[in-house]
Amino acid sequence: MSQGPVDASRVPRFAGPDTYARLPRLDQVERADVAIVGVPFDSGVSYRPGARFGPAAVRQGSKLIRPYNPALDVSPFADLQVADAGDIACNPFDIGQAIDTIEQAAGEFDAKLVTIGGDHTIALPLLRAAHRKHGPLALLHFDAHLDTWDTYFGAEYTHGTPFRRAVEEGILDTEALSHVGIRGPLYGKADLAEDRRLGFGIVTSADVMRRGPDEIADALRQRIGDRPLYISVDIDTLDPAHAPGTGTPEAGGLTSRELLEILRGLSGCNLVGADVVEVAPAYDHAEITSIAAAHVAYDLISLFALGKRA
């Protein structure tokens, strides 16, 4: 029987452990199906720093999470043993060393990971670790930005380059790569051509608004098929009205409702790993961003639980 969250009828929400959803720590359970792990790293950012405090903020924002998910008709903490694995401590001054540390640590978990960032640089080592276990990965990337640029100030490893590096390293299945929520100005039209060359399809935030989450989710499922799927969610895929606490906000984004409904529409996909990144609480208001991120993580955990049922 799974050990779930602290009983909110006995311990108030504002008390109890500072773990995600007040779940047990990984060292308190015999084994875990899903581990929640923080990576408090933001040395790869190009604008506002602060995502190193994201894992703590998302854990705080998760205190109202309840055990039953009615949108997906699943009780993920009962169907799976989910535990909080704490944080991967990595070098804040050396990006290369931090990437190596994250990759090694992620590869040592037996559980599926839902990782809380941290900036988007961390997606590359997480994808490397997942690739070693599952082979070439389908990628579903929610973001305002492509994150397939080549370099920034000559640096090859930043929060704007992880998915280009992942394609170059053969980690990703280039028949099943999608961005969702893309919007805002680019450096030039060539950015889009280069992204297509790498194998990505783009669903803009305007596409979601016009076509609706159900149609978008169906199209994504067809593109993904039964391939092992990694989902990476940059919280700035949401409009700043729904996620002000992030490092590179762009107007015109998804609503939190649209994002959650698209994720829920992916039930049945072969999800093998996921991350939620770029929560920067210094710019947040009333925990809007951290609460949104906590619910995104909850629906990702719920997808893992549905996958176990299948």
The percentage of the chain sitting over the pLDDT mark of 90, rounded to a whole number, equals 98
The percentage of the chain sitting over the pLDDT mark of 70, rounded to a whole number, equals 99
The pLDDT, as a whole number, for residue 309 is 66
Query: Span 278-306, mean pLDDT?
Result: 98
Residue 1: pLDDT band with limits 50, 70, 90: confident
Residue 229 CA: distances (Å) to CA of 98, 131, 153, 173, 275? 24, 10, 31, 10, 12
Question: How do residues 44-82 score in pLDDT, each as one tens digit?
Answer: 999 999 999 999 999 999 999 999 999 999 999 999 999
Is residue 216 within 8 Å of residue 142, measured between CB atoms? Answer: no
Q: Which has the closest alpha carbon to 201: 163, 183, 231, 174?
A: 174
The pLDDT, as a whole number, for residue 42 is 98
The pLDDT, as a whole number, for residue 308 is 77
Residues whose CB falls within 8 Å of the CB of residue 191, separated by 6 or more in sequence, listed in order: 146, 149
d(CA 246, CA 279): 5
Question: How do residues 93-116 score in pLDDT, each as one tens digit?
Answer: 999 999 999 999 999 999 999 999
Residue 310: pLDDT band with limits 50, 70, 90: low
d(CA 261, CA 259): 5
Is residue 83 within 8 Å of residue 72, measured between CB atoms? Answer: no
